[in-house]
Amino acid sequence: GSDIRIKDRLDNVTGVLEKIEQLTPFRYKLKGIDSPLTFIGLSAQDVQSVFPEVVSETYYNEEFGNILALDYSVLSAVIAVGGLKELHAKVKALEERVKALEG
C-alpha cells in the first residue's frame, strides 16, 4: 500500500543519480526459448547492489531454480521522482550560478 498512514517513514532515498549511473539497460533474449522476441531491461544483480529493496527471489524452473526478479514499478518511481528532483536541484544551482556571473 502507498498510504502513508500504514508506514513508519525511515529516511529519504538520496544519491539516486549516482545509483542510476551504475545501471545499464540492455536488450536480451530469454535462454532456452526459440523465439524472435527480444526484451529490454536491467540485470537484477546490478540493481540489487544499489536498490536492494526492489529485488526479490522467485522460483523459475528446475534448471535455474530460484532467480532474482525486479519490481519495476517501484524502481521506476524511485528513479523518476528521485532522479528528476536531483537533476532539478542541479539545474537550479547552475541557473543561479549563471545569473550571478552575468550580474
- How many residues can be counted in the chain? 103
Distance CA 45, CA 88 (A): 29
Q: pLDDT, tens digit, for every residue of 2-29?
A: 899 999 999 999 999 999 999 999 999 9
pLDDT tens digits, one per residue of 84-103: 999 999 999 999 999 999 98
